[in-house]
Amino acid sequence: MAEVLHLFLLLLLHWGSFVIVSGGAADDAAALKSTVDGAFTATLSLLSAEKVNTPNTTDVPATGFTASYGTSTTPRPLAEDTDKAADRAVPRKVEEEGPVELAVRFSRSLKVTQKPKTIPKRSRVLTKKPRVVKKSKLQVKKRVSLSVATETVPQCPPLGLESLKVKDGQLRASSYKRRGLGPHRSRLNIQSGIEDGDIYDGAWCAQHKDEQQWLEVDARRLTRFTGVILQGRNSIWRWDLVHTYKVQFSNDSLVWKPSMNGTEEAVYEGNQDTETPVLALFNTSTVARYIRINPQTWYQNGTEGDICLRAEVLGCTLPDPNNIYPWQTEPTESKDKLDFRHHNYKEMRKLMKLVHEACPDITRIYSIGKSYTGLKLYVMEISDNPGKHELGEPEFRYVAGMHGNEVLGRELLLNLMQYMCQEYKRGDQRIVHLVKETRIHLLPSMNPDGYEMAFKKGSELAGWALGRYSYEGIDMNHNFADLNSVMWTAIELETDRSKLINHYFPIPEQYTSEEAFVASETRAVINWMQNIPFVLGANLHGGELVVTYPYDMTRDWAPREHTPTPDESFFRWLATSYASTNQVMSNPDRRPCHNKDFLRYNNIINGADWHIVPGSMNDFSYLHTNCFEVTVELSCDKFPHASELPIEWENNRESLLVYMEQVHRGIKGVVRDKDTEAGIADAIIKVDDIDHHIRSVADGDYWRLLNPGEYQVTASAEGYFPSTRTCQVMYEHYPTLCDFRLTKMPKQRLKEILAKGGKLPKDLQLRLRQLRLRKLRVTTKTINQRRAAATRRAKRV
């Protein structure tokens, strides 16, 4: 027997060290520590191992795992065999609070097998009382998907194929049809280009059509894999998807162990359509470095069907004992103590209330309306004097959640209000200055109905479109009044350009009628825009990494064309201020999200040069109000996992603050009546060489966003003489004061005095006498000229 064992150990050294730890019920850290130390306590004799191993796993060597930091090669049987008794003895703790990140359901195995034989219990394996063991067995039976008892697998986060955390170099495939269908395109929810056959296609597609094709993911370190999410190919021309597939694991990418369903290799259900993500949780979790997805059946339209898929892998990365210093590991948390998780409607409302209670002097919660189902659109106001517009203080807004499934903006705004409250109380001068000099409005969820739909599915399972639209099926990003067409039509028809307007375009009557197909949420936001004199804002979206600026619509409805506003240079500055301070956008080594490389444009682009969006909020805001607004696409992943929220906050925190500070660029001032010093509302502020005006608000104050430079600015109002002055904008982060005092026209003054029943002052009486004399002289001269002309005609006759 000793000679047989000696020969067995020699064979193990020849094959190399390899182990795959299966059975997630055992503690991961303890399993890894035992692997590193090279001392496996659970060992079997050679004969016992032969009896336990099933026929499907005999080709996988059950040798010890030798890392670069260990030297032991002591053989250890698969944890799938040794740990099941301990799994039954220690029931798992299931979290009951928080959002459903992934729907906990099992994809049924297609091969229905008999229950595996029960492994005899060994001494000193069970550490719990018999009563606990019995209870554990009952809990397992409740989670049986078929006739095979399955292990209760705790949720692990995605590795990051969709969020680009997994790099292209970590993805391999057995074959691929062309570069645009390579393994780097196998990411969940990746979107294809419009042209079929370009380098940005919508999936990985194998070159060959057989059961030997595979997609491989390298986690780069030991990971406890718990499941796979699969999707078909995104294409407007093709219908390709995988119906069933197998999964294998490896530690060296050479020797592979299949995922098992009892005693047979498990086959998992794939997709029935190309867009709905399908989750498959493994019967037993498996610790390994590599994972392969091996399609077995796929949609075949005669000879046209291809093996194509998009995927996400679920796994918990185990700690690496080699990385003993914090700087050796990638940061996964934020230094800010914020509530990093997904908040549904009730949790969002509760969090906003907690922020208000923590900072009641600088915050106010108010509602601007309701969604179709009656959920209120809550806004958090942050100001040193909440609830009141202060003279000379600009109004700023962030709007998130226009598309309900693009959830990152919602969570960032909730984090932002927490952060500003904490830092204000701590005395951070940057935040204190923002709060005292700006009135900030944060609308975290413009489409709460859509969010609730996506939230119920959870991260990774909501797909690309679920929750995007309102409850009525309206895309709010196309739901504002199309004032671009109104403006361009007027330009084409009007021959006298002096009669054209370039701002405050009225909303068409057909849009304001009750029969108009306008979402209740859109109407509420428009009313909000009209009631508060916003100066600057941003609309937070998801699904890409880019900042877009107006116009969002082309003049002739071309598919895409650069269509600038008169304020093109300042809009480019606004977009750059966010993109250049965002840690992901500014990374020159990052890969494109889907089908367009925005790095070539410095991560900013004119909206119409990307794709046309008639009725966008950005264009409406620019043409109907004083507010300048851009759209920020925050991440490739529309619904990132909760574990990724701390890093996303770190990526966007500085950008959110820097962009808010841009509201103080340009000029500001008050337009007053020269005689009464009262503010003049609706005074038009015109900047030479920029064909877009703004207006003063109720108290006469105004804000005109401008880049540094010298400008000729004219203020005019009905019944007043216009006034022009030179205003110079500096590079400092504060606006240039440029006040105006307008003199009333005599006619206007006379109307106002007579309307009040007052007595005319002497200067006005003198002015009126002069006007009467001038008018008399003009009329007398005209009469004399007519008489002279009549006399000349009479003489000729």
In angstroms, what CA-CA distances link 465 with 102, 303, 468, 473? 17, 30, 5, 11
Is the predicted pLDDT of residue 593 greater than 70, yes or no? yes
Residues 355-403 have pLDDT tens digits of 999 999 999 999 999 999 999 999 999 999 999 999 999 999 999 999 9
Residues in the chain: 797
Q: Is the backbone of residue 534 left (phi > 0), alpha (psi -120 to 50) or beta? A: beta
Please answer whether residues 634 and 546 qualify as being in contact, where contact means their C-beta atoms are separated by less than 8 angstroms: no
Nearest to 316 by CA among 383, 239, 221: 221
Nearest to 267 by CA among 242, 286, 250, 302: 242
Q: Is pLDDT larger for residue 124 or for residue 500? A: 500
**Buried b vs exposed e over 360-389: b needs ≥16 C-beta within 10 Å?**
eebbbbeebeebbeebbbbbbbbbbebeeb
Position 88 scores a pLDDT of 39
Residues 168-201 have pLDDT tens digits of 999 999 999 988 899 999 999 999 887 656 788 8
404, two tokens: 């309900």
pLDDT level of residue 753 (50, 70, 90 thresholds) = low
Question: How many C-beta atoms surround the C-beta of residue 7 within 10 A?
Answer: 11
Is the predicted pLDDT of residue 231 greater than 90, yes or no? yes
Lowest-pLDDT range, 49-58, 277-286, 434-443, 468-477? 49-58
Is the predicted pLDDT of residue 654 greater than 70, yes or no? yes
Position 786 scores a pLDDT of 86
Please compute the mean of the pLDDT values over residues 21-38 and round it to a whole number: 41
Is the predicted pLDDT of residue 488 greater than 70, yes or no? yes
Rounded Cα gap, residues 286 and 279, in angstroms: 17
Please answer whether residues 443 and 521 qualify as being in contact, where contact means their C-beta atoms are separated by less than 8 angstroms: no
Task: Give the bridge partners for 695, in sequence order.
Answer: 684
Lowest-pLDDT range, 48-57, 739-748, 750-759? 48-57
463, two tokens: 């797909």
pLDDT level of residue 760 (50, 70, 90 thresholds) = low
Position 328 scores a pLDDT of 52
Tell me the pLDDT of the chain averaged across its residues.
80
Lowest-pLDDT range, 100-114, 432-446, 663-677? 100-114
Position 764 scores a pLDDT of 66
Name the pairing type of β-strands 701-704 and 667-673: antiparallel
> Is 195 annotated in the active site?
no
Q: Is pLDDT larger for residue 760 or for residue 647? A: 647
Q: What are phi and psi of 730, to 5 degrees?
A: -100, 180
In angstroms, what CA-CA distances link 220 with 44, 252, 288, 289, 779? 30, 10, 10, 6, 95
Position 462 scores a pLDDT of 87
Q: Is pLDDT larger for residue 597 or for residue 116? A: 597
SS3 letters for 586-630?
A: CCCCCCCCCCCCHHHHCCEEEHHHHCCCCCCHHHHHHHHCCCEEE
Rounded Cα gap, residues 758 and 755, in angstroms: 8
Position 331 scores a pLDDT of 61
- Residues with Cβ within 8 Å of 701's Cβ and at least 6 positions away in sequence, in order, are 391, 392, 668, 669, 670, 671, 679
Rounded Cα gap, residues 783 and 797, in angstroms: 22
Q: Is the backbone of residue 134 left (phi > 0), alpha (psi -120 to 50) or beta? A: alpha
* Planar angle of CA 422, 426, 427, nearest 5 degrees: 120
The SS3 call for residue 647 is helix
Rounded Cα gap, residues 588 and 585, in angstroms: 8
Is the predicted pLDDT of residue 224 greater than 90, yes or no? yes
Q: What is the CA radius of gyration of the chain?
A: 35
Q: Is the backbone of residue 700 left (phi > 0), alpha (psi -120 to 50) or beta? A: left
Proportion of the chain above pLDDT 70, given as a percent = 76
Is the predicted pLDDT of residue 658 greater than 90, yes or no? yes
Please compute the mean of the pLDDT values over residues 325-352 and round it to a whole number: 83
Is the predicted pLDDT of residue 45 greater than 60, yes or no? no
37, two tokens: 């130390």
**Active site residue: 633, 644, 648, 661, which one?**
633
Q: pTM above 0.85?
A: no
Position 48 scores a pLDDT of 35
Task: Give the bridge partners for 704, in sequence order.
Answer: 667
Position 15 scores a pLDDT of 44
